[in-house]
Structure 1
Amino acid sequence: MILYHTEPDSPVIEISIEGKITDHDLREAIERMRGDLELNGKTRVLERIEHFTGIEPKALWTDITLGVSVARKVTRAAVVADAGWIRASMHLARFFTKAEVKAFHVNELEQARIWINT
């Protein structure tokens, strides 16, 4: 499940991921992000990932073919995750985006929000 949240006139997008990512949910999030990028230009993303159980193979392909081009337009990304392997893998983001990326533990959500807004 992907929940997508923005505030009017804010360049920050909050995305919450729980459980398994479906292709349908991912496509909707990518389309919303494209719209926000067109509206706001430079965009920052705070992504919360908790209780992650996987991604549909079709969604993985969608992420590669559609998501990477959108991710390249993000200027800063905070990843807040409960799983250590997710936070540890954030160094791989440099292959997909030029954004400054920083990982946080779930108990550091407020610090992540402060960082993404500075």
Structure 2
Amino acid sequence: MTIEYQEDDATKVVEFHITGHISHADYAPLVDRLQDFIDRNGTVRMIEVVEHFPTFDPSILIPGLKFDIRNIRYITHVAVVSDMGWISPVVKAAGALISTKIRTFGMAELEAARDWVRSADPEGGAAG
């Protein structure tokens, strides 16, 4: 699997691209970096680009849930960018259960996703 990860403390925006199977060995360093980013910045915004995501290691489920429970209040906006048909309904269902503002975008809309996240109020106010 490939994970490209970029963070910007000045804008409090983190962007990562996922391609392929997610193993525990891939997931743990990503979560550690993201936790450090949240700890440094308080509230943050995210851009998740999912190019290809066929499977994941089930051992990441419990650590993932623990991370989400601990940090979801610090993640104000998430743009999920993907052309994978099943991603949007899953994201919308999750978005109905949390206060984080979540929007889905197609791969051709990556710049629009970046604009939406970057123009969002870093303290959680609505953006477009």
Shared fold per TM-score greater than 0.5: yes
Question: Residue 20 of structure 2 corresponds to which residue in structure 1?
Answer: 19
- Listed one character per residue, the Cα deviations across residues 58-108 of structure 1 (whole Å, up to 9, x for unaligned) are 122321233442333200000001201101211222366421000001111
- Listed one character per residue, the Cα deviations across residues 34-62 of structure 1 (whole Å, up to 9, x for unaligned) are 11111111100000001111110112232
Question: Moved runs in structure 1, 4+ residues, more than 4 A?
Answer: none
Question: What's the TM-score, normalizing by structure 2?
Answer: 0.82
CA contact (8 A) 1:68 1:96 kept: no
Q: Identify the structure with the greater strand proportion.
A: 1
Aligned runs of 1:58-77 on 2, under 5 Å?
58-77=59-78
Structure 1, unpaired ranges of 5+? none
Bigger radius of gyration: 2
After TM superposition, the structure 1 stretch with the greater mean CA deviation from structure 2, 15-24 or 69-78, is: 69-78
Relative to structure 1, the CA distance from residue 90 to residue 43 in structure 2 (aligned partners, 3 Å threshold; closer, same or farther) is same
Cα deviation for residue 7 of structure 1 reads: 2.5
Structure 2, unpaired ranges of 5+? 120-128
After TM superposition, the structure 1 stretch with the greater mean CA deviation from structure 2, 68-77 or 33-42, is: 68-77
CA contact (8 A) 2:11 2:118 kept: no
Question: Residue 115 of structure 2 corresponds to which residue in structure 1?
Answer: 114
Relative to structure 1, the CA distance from residue 85 to residue 77 in structure 2 (aligned partners, 3 Å threshold; closer, same or farther) is same
Question: What's the TM-score, normalizing by structure 1?
Answer: 0.89
In structure 2, give the amino acid aligned to 1:60.
L
Relative to structure 1, the CA distance from residue 21 to residue 82 in structure 2 (aligned partners, 3 Å threshold; closer, same or farther) is same
SS of equivalent to 1:83: coil
